Amino acid sequence: METKTLPFYKYQGTGNDFIIVDNRQLVFPKNDTKLIARLCDRKFGIGADGLMLLENDEMADFRMVYYNADGREGSMCGNGARCLVDFAHFLGIIEQNTTFMAVDGLHTASWGPDQVRLQMQDVSEIREKPNYLFLDTGSPHHVQLVAGIEEYNIPHEGKRLRYGLYGETGSNINFVEPLEGNTFAVRTYERGVEDETLSCGTGVTAVALAMHHLGKATKEAVRLKTKGGELAVYFRRQGKGYTDITLEGPVEQVFNGIISV
C-alpha cells in the first residue's frame, strides 16, 4: 500500500493544542478515524487535543473541519477556530478580518499579531439546575462552581459527571472559582479528549455567560484564567440569552513537519 506524505502545522491557543492541515486539495483521508486518533496521540503520534482541516468554502473565506483527539468529528472548538484563523492568515487567505464556515454555521473573526478575536454564536438559553448550569456555546457545557479549584480532582470528577449526567453523548464539564472582580479561574474536562485540557474556548465562553447569568460577573466583559493562559469573553445580554459574544486570546504556531497518511 502506497504511503503519502502531507505537511502539517502544530498550533496552540492558551495550551489547547491542535494539528492543522491545509486540505484545500482534499487529499487528507477524512474518514480514517484511527489515523486521526494516532496523530493526536501524545506517545505514538504528534500529540494534540484535536486535528483541524482548512478547506475551501463557497460562502466564506474557508471552512473549518474539526476532529476530537479520539478521531471523531467534533462540535465547535473556540480555541481551535482562533488557531485556524491565524493559519489562514499565515497562508495568505485572509488579512485582518474574515468570515469562515464551521460545524455550527458562519463565524466572523479578526486577526492580530498578538490576539485573535472570534465571534461566537448567540446563546438563547441557560438552564439552571440546583448545583450547576447548562448551556450550548457551539458545544454543550456544564458549568459548576467549586472551592479550591487548584486542588480539585478534575479528571475524576469531570469523567463522573460527563458520563453520569450526560451519558455516552456527553458534555464538556467546566469547574469555576471566582477571583477578583470579573475574573474567574476555570478548569475543563473535555469530551472527545476524555481528560482535562489546559484551556477550552467554548468552555470559558460558557463560564463567562453563566457567571453573568448568576450575577457573579457584573460587567459584559469577563477574564478567564485557565492552566494554559488567559482569555477574555465579551457579550451583550439580550432577553434571557446573550448576543455579540466574542472570544479573544493569543495563539501560536509551534512547529511544522511532514506526516505519513
Give the residue numbers marked as catalytic: 77, 200
Backbone phi, psi, residue 143, to 5°: -125, 125
Output DSSP code: residue 254. E
Cβ burial of 1 (10 Å; 0-12, 13-18, 19+) is exposed
Four-CA torsion 91, 94, 99, 103, nearest 10 degrees: 0
Pairing of strands 172-178, 183-190: antiparallel
Beta strands in the chain (DSSP E): 5-13, 16-22, 50-55, 62-68, 97-102, 105-111, 116-119, 127-128, 133-136, 140-145, 172-178, 183-190, 195-197, 221-226, 229-238, 241-249, 252-260
Question: What spatial distance separates the first Cα and last Cα of the chain, rounded to whole Å?
Answer: 11
